[in-house]
Amino acid sequence: MLVARDLRKDYPMNGETVHALRGASLTVEPGEYVALVGPSGSGKSTLLQIVGGIDTPTAGTVEILGTRLETLSDRELTRLRLTRLGFVFQRFHLLPVLTARENVELPMAEAGVKGADRRARARRLLDYVGLGHREGHRATQLSGGEMQRVAIARALANRPAVLLADEPTGELDAATGQEILDLFRRLNTDGTTLLVVTHDERLAAQAGRTVHMLDGRIVSEAAAP
Ligand SMILES: Nc1ncnc2c1ncn2[C@@H]1O[C@H](COP(=O)(O)OP(=O)(O)OP(=O)(O)O)[C@@H](O)[C@H]1O
Ligand SMILES: [Mg+2]
């Protein structure tokens, strides 16, 4: 499903080099729910952005469903991101002027799904995340937890092979964060593969596997009890 091999990422900074990744390798199998944890600055977001094709590594390779990302043109990579990967961010990244339904429709519109089909699917997805009654609200008229659920529905719009999330509960209070955790658990039960960066111990506890990062490397892996 997802294979990252010996990833390195260097950032030049004021004449010095920051080694954000120092040889990180990770495999995620279909249907897995993997939590990626580690101290601030250990390289978690960098790793997630590289496996998601948002950023490129200094060295190493990433394979999604058998396709090596570095072999793709910009256009092919954009297409793969749009149709095979879903992203969920700490700060939701919804378009504020659009309604919940329009936000969910956007990736489908970009992928060429017709109006009536994408409206119907956006409604189904909003129902799935428990927000059918909020489809006409603009992003600015939603609570934080609701915004994150819309963002998750949007990430699922084109039926991604894997959902990547970076601190999806980081901006939410405990109770609202729990709703997102429940949703992730349900998504995984329903067959979605998840790779989630988190500081949230409850999330790490419910994932099937926890991968620990330290100083740009994967240092250990533990299956959940
Ligand atoms: N664009 C950049 N330019 C220079 N250095 C960067 C850049 N992005 C990240 N870094 C550095 O790379 C290292 C890893 O950053 P990264 O954002 O991956 O950490 P993280 O594990 O996600 O941390 P956090 O838990 O705080 O989000 C850090 O030392 C950071 O300062
Ligand atoms: Mg981060």
Q: If you write DSSP's letter for every residue of 23-54 in order, what string do you get?
A: EEEEEE-TT-EEEEE--TTSSHHHHHHHHTTS
Which ligand 1 atom sits nearest the alpha carbon of residue 9? 12
Which ligand 1 atom sits nearest the alpha carbon of residue 216? 14
- 147 alpha-carbon distance from chain centroid: 15
Which tokens sit at 105?
């429709």
Indicate which ligand has the atom closest to the C-alpha of 22: 1
Q: Which residues contact 37 (CB under 8 A, 6 or more apart)?
A: 44, 197, 198, 199, 204, 210, 211, 212, 213
Which tokens sit at 90?
């700490």
**CA–CA separation, 165 and 43 (whole Å):** 14
What is the structure's pLDDT at 223? Answer: 62
C-beta of 13 in contact with ligand 1 (< 6 A): yes
What is the structure's pLDDT at 225? Answer: 54
Query: Going residue by residue through the chain (225 aa), what tens digit of pLDDT does each one get?
Result: 999 999 999 999 999 999 999 999 999 999 999 999 999 999 999 999 999 999 999 999 999 999 999 999 999 999 999 999 999 999 999 999 999 999 999 999 999 999 999 999 999 999 999 999 999 999 999 999 999 999 999 999 999 999 999 999 999 999 999 999 999 999 999 999 999 999 999 999 999 999 999 999 999 876 655
Which residues form the domain of 190? 2-223
C-beta of 193 in contact with ligand 1 (< 6 A): no
Query: By the 8 A CB rule, do 181 and 168 touch?
Result: no
C-beta of 44 in contact with ligand 1 (< 6 A): yes
Which tokens sit at 126?
């909003």
- 198 alpha-carbon distance from chain centroid: 11
Q: Which residues contact 18 (CB under 8 A, 6 or more apart)?
A: 10, 11, 12
Query: By the 8 A CB rule, do 5 and 64 touch?
Result: no
Task: Give the CATH number for residue 35.
Answer: 3.40.50.300
> Distances from the Cα of 12 to the Cαs of 20, 24, 30, 98, 113, in angstroms?
10, 19, 35, 38, 41
C-beta of 11 in contact with ligand 1 (< 6 A): yes
C-beta of 198 in contact with ligand 1 (< 6 A): no
Nearest CA, atom 1, ligand 1: 11
Domains of the chain: total: 1
Give the burial class of 175: count Cβ atoms within 10 A of its Cβ; 0-12 exposed, 13-18 middle, 19 or more buried. Answer: exposed
Indicate which ligand has the atom closest to the C-alpha of 40: 1
- Ligand 2 center to residue 46 CA distance, Å? 7
What is the structure's pLDDT at 221? Answer: 72
Residue with tokens 């894997």: 162
